Chain A
Amino acid sequence: MNKKPKNVAVYIILTLMAIIMLVPFIWMVLTAFKTIAETTQVDPFVVFPSSWQFGNFAEVIKAMDFIRLYFNTILLIALRVVLAVVTANLAGYAFARLEFKGKNLMFGLVLFQMMIPAQIFIIPQYVIISKLHLTNTIFGLVFPGLVSAFGTFLMRQAYMGMPKELEEAARLDGCSIPQTFFYIMAPLTKSSMVALGIFTSVFAYKELMWPMIVCPDSRYTTLASALAKMQGQYSTDYPELMAAALIACIPMIVLYVAFQKQFIEGIATSGSKL
């Protein structure tokens, strides 16, 4: 009987929270379509642009060469995902299902890497790239993500959760270890691979410090690091800054809304499996 009013309170709180989460995004969109004059007008305060200024987008796309930034970011993501999924799959399977000398020590190194704050690796990683004259290259961007300790751990968990009978049946049928892995086991961990792929993509897309250091030239850098650069240049032109921020985040938001289940599982649930 007193269930109704309580639920009303729950809905009110949830709705308020949803508004708090959405207002910054809405404000970003509204600002991106305003003129500078409208954003710096206080009395009356302008909420909706009087006419929608698509010119802000054209302006920043030209000024920042966003086509190029998209290309760099997508290439970075694609390479990191392929490398992480391939290497982590192989290593994850070996750690989960094969017995060999040195396994525990090597897996200890994997766990160790996961527990150490990433900043401790950055100076030497930069020095390596710098000595190889690979700053401002896509290889430089990809470098810290050539392999993935986290992915290895995640894939190991996936393989450990699989029934042993499958492998034993394959072995009795005369399958070698690589055959068992490629034909029987690997295809069964697709959902974990998707989770790892999404996790890797979002991480690479959000990263700021590494691309700023290794690709300071805005032609070779990523969306996130180009935003940082742009903020320094256009510090008060908020319509253009918001247009740039919107262009940088809209593809990931669209993908997220389309594949929200996979995204939430990929990012959050893989985190909780640690």
Chain B
Amino acid sequence: MNKIAKTGREKSELLWGWMFILPTMIGLIILNIYPMFQTIYQSFFKTGDFGKGNIFVGLANYKKVFGDAEVWQSLWNTFKYAIVEVPLSIVIALILAVFLNKKIKARGFFRTVFFLPMVVAPAAIAMVWKWLFNSQFGLLNHILPFKLNWVSDPKIAIFSIALIGIWSVIGYNMVLFLAGLQDVPRDYYEAAQLDGATEIEQFFKITLPLVSPTIFFVVVTRMIAAMQVFDLIYMVIDYNNPALKKTESLVYLFYNYSFQQGNKGYGATVVVVLLIVIMILTVIQLIGQKKWVYYN
């Protein structure tokens, strides 16, 4: 009797389990699993003119990618963006989070203001910054003691875009750090104060190790996101901008090949390369974490 009841329950869980996940699984297979294989498959083809007729070319696209100076340049541009945006946005956000974790007046106000860019479309943010960066009439060249061709000088344009990226994401990182700081026991600081540790010492000896798991999480996820930078570059850099070749990212190239030039085969190859680069970077970080992330 008991056994029958149990198998009845098992059957019921099997049935309803699958019924409940079915919409999501069908969706994921159509929207993600099939497309992923399709993209990899496509990367072995050359798309014919007017998008007609795929010609199998084997590894030719990959050979072309490795010899394509524009792809290498865009990979380098993407790295430059990420290597500036990720660490700086994290350091600034961590400092702000530590400040807001103190007994501070108007905490809510500061938190709201810092987080604000997260709810604004990057397209709008980029338009505003493009205007601020305007070399002739822009606000920045008027209030700063120096003048720059922020987004048209090929040497600095990618860093100007990274600046927008940092400005946009500080608040997001800060909120994650604030959550991490909540878990640091207060009495650690009290004990340190009794031992005469300064606030700076407390930060490096207590705060930093204890929030290192949060920092690690933010570094990994921000890195993945930064490697996919597109919106800001697309919006700020026009087609005739002299800095275009020194700012276009891998995703920008992917968009251009796939949807502007209609060469989906090559676009697919570029995005597969991006996937591989991101995977390598993530694995390196997962290995590297053992050296600095502190789990109690």
List chain A positions with a Cβ less than 8 A from chain B.
6-7, 10-11, 13-14, 17-18, 20-25, 27-28, 31, 39-42, 45, 86-88, 90-91, 93-95, 98-103, 106, 109-110, 113, 116-128, 143-144, 146-149, 152, 176-178, 181, 202, 205-206, 208-209, 213, 223-225, 227-228, 231, 235, 238, 241-242, 244-246, 248-249, 252-253, 255-257, 260, 263-264, 267-269, 271-272, 274
Cβ contacts A to B, 12 pairs, < 8 Å = A17-B110, A31-B131, A41-B137, A86-B23, A95-B21, A121-B31, A144-B31, A208-B235, A225-B123, A244-B127, A245-B124, A271-B221
Q: A227-B123, A245-B124, A268-B175 are known contacts. Are A110 and B24 too (CB-CB below 8 A)? A: yes
- On chain B, the residues within 8 Å of A209 by CB distance are 230-231, 234, 251, 255
Query: Is A10 a contact partner of B18 (Cβ separation < 8 A)?
Result: no
Residue of A nearest to B217 (CB): A272
The docked-state distance in angstroms from the alpha carbon of A242 to that of B129 is: 11
In this complex, which of B31, B115, B230 has the most chain A Cβ atoms within 10 angstroms of its Cβ? B31
Query: Is A149 a contact partner of B124 (Cβ separation < 8 A)?
Result: no
Query: Is A146 a contact partner of B176 (Cβ separation < 8 A)?
Result: no
A interface majority secondary structure: helix
Query: Is B119 a contact partner of A256 (Cβ separation < 8 A)?
Result: yes
- On chain A, the residues within 8 Å of B30 by CB distance are 128
Q: Does B167 contact A (CB under 8 A)?
A: yes
Query: Is A147 a contact partner of B122 (Cβ separation < 8 A)?
Result: no
- On chain B, the residues within 8 Å of A231 by CB distance are 127, 130, 235
Q: How far is the CB of B161 from chain A (nearest CB, A)?
A: 14
- On chain B, the residues within 8 Å of A224 by CB distance are 121-124
Query: Is A120 a contact partner of B275 (Cβ separation < 8 A)?
Result: yes
Query: Is A119 a contact partner of B228 (Cβ separation < 8 A)?
Result: yes
The docked-state distance in angstroms from the alpha carbon of A94 to that of B21 is: 7
The docked-state distance in angstroms from the alpha carbon of A216 to that of B116 is: 29
Residue of A nearest to B12 (CB): A177
The docked-state distance in angstroms from the alpha carbon of A242 to that of B13 is: 55
Q: A120-B39, A123-B267, A224-B124 are known contacts. Are A99 and B13 too (CB-CB below 8 A)? A: yes
- On chain B, the residues within 8 Å of A87 by CB distance are 23-24, 27
Q: A123-B38, A228-B234, A267-B172 are known contacts. Are A91 and B24 too (CB-CB below 8 A)? A: yes
Query: Is A116 a contact partner of B36 (Cβ separation < 8 A)?
Result: yes
Extra A-B contacts (15), CB below 8 Å, given A123-B39, A208-B230:
A21-B114, A21-B167, A24-B128, A98-B20, A103-B21, A106-B25, A113-B33, A116-B32, A122-B271, A123-B271, A206-B121, A206-B123, A223-B121, A253-B119, A260-B111
Which of these, B104, B124, B271, contacts A248 with CB under 8 Å? B124
Query: Is B28 a contact partner of A113 (Cβ separation < 8 A)?
Result: yes
Query: Is B31 a contact partner of A117 (Cβ separation < 8 A)?
Result: no
In this complex, which of A102, A123, A126, A238 has the most chain B Cβ atoms within 10 angstroms of its Cβ? A123
Query: Is B36 a contact partner of A121 (Cβ separation < 8 A)?
Result: yes
Residue interface bits B169-209, CB-to-A below 8 A is 1, else 0? 01110011001000000000000000000010000000000
Residue of B nearest to A22 (CB): B113
- On chain B, the residues within 8 Å of A101 by CB distance are 14
Size bracket, chain B contacts: 35 or more
- On chain A, the residues within 8 Å of B131 by CB distance are 27-28, 31, 238, 241-242
Q: How far is the CB of A270 from chain B (nearest CB, A)?
A: 11
Q: Does B292 contact A (CB under 8 A)?
A: no
Q: How far is the CB of B241 from chain A (nearest CB, A)?
A: 11
- On chain A, the residues within 8 Å of B13 by CB distance are 98-100, 177
Q: How far is the CB of B15 from chain A (nearest CB, A)?
A: 8
A-contacting residues, B1-56, CB 8 Å:
10, 12-14, 16-21, 23-36, 38-39, 42
Q: How far is the CB of B128 from chain A (nearest CB, A)?
A: 5
Q: How far is the CB of B6 from chain A (nearest CB, A)?
A: 12
Q: How far is the CB of A234 from chain B (nearest CB, A)?
A: 10
Query: Is A213 a contact partner of B121 (Cβ separation < 8 A)?
Result: no
Q: How far is the CB of A39 from chain B (nearest CB, A)?
A: 6
The docked-state distance in angstroms from the alpha carbon of A27 to that of B167 is: 15
| Minimum-distance CB pairs A-B, first 6 | A147-B27, A100-B17, A124-B35, A94-B20, A91-B24, A268-B175
Residue of A nearest to B27 (CB): A147
Query: Is A242 a contact partner of B35 (Cβ separation < 8 A)?
Result: no
Q: A28-B128, A103-B17, A208-B234 are known contacts. Are A252 and B119 too (CB-CB below 8 A)? A: yes
Query: Is A120 a contact partner of B271 (Cβ separation < 8 A)?
Result: yes
- On chain B, the residues within 8 Å of A117 by CB distance are 224, 227-228, 271, 274-275, 278
Query: Is B167 a contact partner of A42 (Cβ separation < 8 A)?
Result: no
The docked-state distance in angstroms from the alpha carbon of A243 to that of B255 is: 28
- On chain B, the residues within 8 Å of A28 by CB distance are 128, 131
Q: Does B289 contact A (CB under 8 A)?
A: no
Q: Does B245 contact A (CB under 8 A)?
A: no
Residue of A nearest to B122 (CB): A206
Query: Is A123 a contact partner of B268 (Cβ separation < 8 A)?
Result: yes
Q: Does B154 contact A (CB under 8 A)?
A: no
Which of these, A86, A88, A120, contacts B36 with CB under 8 Å? A120
Query: Is A20 a contact partner of B167 (Cβ separation < 8 A)?
Result: yes
